[in-house]
Structure 1
Amino acid sequence: MQAAVVREFGPIDNVAVEERPDPVPGPGEVLVRVGAVAVNFVDTLVIGGTYQFLPDRPFTPGKGPAGTVVALGAGVTALAVGDRVLAMAEIGGYAELAVAPAAQCYRLPDRMGFEEAAALSLAADTAWFGLRERGRVQAGESVLVLGATGAVGIAAIQLAKAFGARVLAGVSSMAKAELVREAGAEAVIDLSRANLRDSLREQVREATGGAGADVVLDMLGGDPFDAALRALAWRGRLVVIGFAAGRIPSVKANYLLVKNIEVSGLQISDYRKRMPELARRCFEEIFSLHEAGQLHAPAYRTYPLPRAREALGALLDRTVKERIVMTVLGG
């Protein structure tokens, strides 16, 4: 099979597409003929050797490929050859064939193609867990999404709206306001305003009648995190998902006490390993909302597998505004 291979951790120049032996599923695993897989920033961390969980080398990167089951490992009974699945494997997706735990494979709805499934993977499920599990959002509450124009952000806006929440979308430029409004945001928070520490709180209070945000999903960290913490409502919950702004912030515990607020973190892979039934319920609801027209994949651009390095470069250089999806012929 063809696969992208990393032999030494480092820059994306270390990624080479080459011929590799076909993998064989072990007990409890399935072999998937990959149709498409998203290109995620986390993949570059794994390639660079800076992610918290690093595979043995050589390895093939790529999380969450979508494709067709072509072989079953020993003991697999819940899936069958021919099933179309989203396979939430941690690595191996940048290839024609990928092995994944059967317990972390989710049958796709008939009307969902591989590219759309790949575009949703690692975005919609992250947003779901941030809202449902860590944020415990309730209908009628207000949700502030920081990093709202990214894949997780767009999914979070749609899901929060589907859950009955009022959605506030934080954007780095008001030129992006229409994008988040189309996704369902009722108010747009301008993160480019001067004195963000005060201006963010003022905008949130104006949008919530002075109450503040009940839930904040933060993909940014840095100054937006500091400002959003001050914009939480009484008993508000802020969920840390990433640090795209660069700085990892810190929190003074007395501030949490005085305002009766919470800060929690979300590392989505742990849930699939430790709470597989909750992860399955997550995808069942995501697929159901997609079928109902309440959740759509973000706009995406495709690159074929032989251009894997180019796709990664476009992600890092931010030369492509859409989500990047790698396609595999024959999937």
Structure 2
Amino acid sequence: MRAAVLTEFGAPLTVQEMPDPVAGGGEVVVQVLAGCVPPYAEEVFNGRRNYPLEPPVVPGTGGVGRIVSIGPDATRLRVGDLVWCDCTVRSRDDALTPDITLQGWSSRGDGGARLARHLHDGSFAELMRVPTENVYALPTEAEGDPARWSSLGVYVIPYGGLLAGGLEAGETLLVSGATGNLGSAAVATALAMGAGRVVTPGRNRAVLDLLADRFGPRVRPVQLTGDEDADRTAMSAAAGGPIDMVIDLLPPAAPSSAARAAAMTVREYGRVVLMGGVGMLGGADLALPYPWIMRNSVTVRGQWMYPRSANVGMIRLVASGALDLNAEWVRTFPLDAVNDAVEYAAAHGGPFDRTVLAPPAN
């Protein structure tokens, strides 16, 4: 097979011939049809994000594919099935606190690193070996546009955070980082789940207007100024009532003050879910006040990625039409143009803008 390989941090990816992967017990091999290229991929490959990848490695964050072989323990999947491949791989020997690796992308701790060495390569390839439990059958409507359905990898991340926070129909949600790639996906997903109102703070007026135009009056945009107190007041006022939940999806370069201002808009007994990258590149800590959390009975929790069940829920949301992918801007690149795809993704990381690597010839 052919695959795009990161040979060292700071070097361009190179397309190489590699041995075809072989499915062992508990594994499936898929022909990769489409996989999203994250807007921050360039920062991973040049080493700026300091991800624990071990070159040489085939990167990639899952995608849509077609099964070409299965291990002996698969009972429902069949060769030829169109499937979604989730990159979030969990160890099988600890049900309570499993080690986690993002196949072909990142990992957590020593256990995650060991898991990453076994499932080393991701979706920037013609073929990919995936754990059986990470493969999900897609509905027939996905057959016509695998590239568009590869956006599942974007939406399922904030969906995991919304599930972690227990978002309920009719509630008011504030999305911190709403004008970004993941934040805008959180807005769309929350509305598909039945959120009554979604407060969308950000600095980019054009993107705020785009969100309001696309989703209507349930979206409450707020233009941020950088003044923490003033921004908190403006966000609270825009909600038109109590804010039940805040989800933070700000990128690593964002100041902690922006995340704190958003979090502290939540009502008494409200929930705050932290999923962004604030502090990952250094800088001040989030520093939420202890008395505020305690006296207001606020629940603050972190959420890295999502549970396995989120994949099923997200596929259902899209298949039902509750979450519409037709408004996505999708630009596909063949495998040979992988470096062009990475460069394009970095320049097109706005709301509903997807860069997709499609290994078969376009």
CA contact (8 A) 1:149 1:179 kept: no
Q: Is 2:321 the partner of 1:323?
A: no
1:32 corresponds in structure 2 to 30
CA drift at 1:45: 5.8
Matches for 1:147-296 after TM superposition, within 5 Å: 147-165=177-195, 166-184=197-215, 186-195=218-227, 197-211=228-242, 213-220=243-250, 222=255, 223-243=257-277, 247=283, 249-268=286-305, 271=307, 279-280=308-309, 282-296=310-324
CA drift at 1:296: 2.4
- 1:48-106 deviation per Cα after TM superposition (whole angstroms, max 9, x unaligned): 56768735432100011211000112322231101100111322200011111110111
1:304 corresponds in structure 2 to 334
Task: Tell me the amino acid that sits aligned with residue 7 of structure 1.
Answer: T
1:116 corresponds in structure 2 to 148
- Separation of aligned partners in 1, 2:240 and 2:222: 17
User: Mean Cα displacement is larger for which, 285-294 or 78-87?
Assistant: 285-294
- Separation of aligned partners in 2, 1:290 and 1:182: 21
Task: Tell me the amino acid that sits aligned with residue 356 of structure 2.
Answer: V
When normalised by structure 2's length, the TM-score is 0.79
CA spacing shift, 1:31–1:50, aligned 2, 3 Å = farther
* Percent of aligned pairs with the same amino acid: 30
CA drift at 1:229: 2.1
CA contact (8 A) 1:119 1:324 kept: no
User: Mean Cα displacement is larger for which, 318-327 or 109-118?
Assistant: 318-327
CA drift at 1:312: 1.5
CA drift at 1:144: 0.8
CA spacing shift, 1:320–1:126, aligned 2, 3 Å = closer
CA spacing shift, 1:43–1:194, aligned 2, 3 Å = closer
- 1:100-158 deviation per Cα after TM superposition (whole angstroms, max 9, x unaligned): 1110111111112311121221x2211211111x2111222110112223332233222
SS in 2 for 1:157: helix
Structure 2: runs of 5 or more not aligned: 88-102, 105-121
- Separation of aligned partners in 1, 2:302 and 2:50: 15
- 1:303-329 deviation per Cα after TM superposition (whole angstroms, max 9, x unaligned): 22111112222333x256422111111
- Separation of aligned partners in 2, 1:142 and 1:200: 18
Alpha carbon RMSD of aligned pairs, Å? 2.5
- Separation of aligned partners in 1, 2:152 and 2:268: 32
CA drift at 1:207: 2.5
CA spacing shift, 1:43–1:78, aligned 2, 3 Å = farther
- Separation of aligned partners in 2, 1:296 and 1:244: 29
Task: Tell me the amino acid that sits aligned with residue 205 of structure 2.
Answer: M
- Separation of aligned partners in 1, 2:14 and 2:274: 34
2:159 corresponds in structure 1 to 128
CA spacing shift, 1:108–1:31, aligned 2, 3 Å = same
CA spacing shift, 1:16–1:152, aligned 2, 3 Å = same
CA contact (8 A) 1:214 1:237 kept: yes
CA drift at 1:38: 0.6
1:6 corresponds in structure 2 to 6
- Separation of aligned partners in 1, 2:187 and 2:202: 12
- 1:151-177 deviation per Cα after TM superposition (whole angstroms, max 9, x unaligned): 322332222123222211122211112
User: Mean Cα displacement is larger for which, 244-253 or 321-330?
Assistant: 244-253
CA spacing shift, 1:74–1:37, aligned 2, 3 Å = same
Task: Tell me the amino acid that sits aligned with residue 222 of structure 2.
Answer: D
CA drift at 1:46: 5.1
- Separation of aligned partners in 1, 2:239 and 2:349: 34
CA contact (8 A) 1:72 1:80 kept: yes
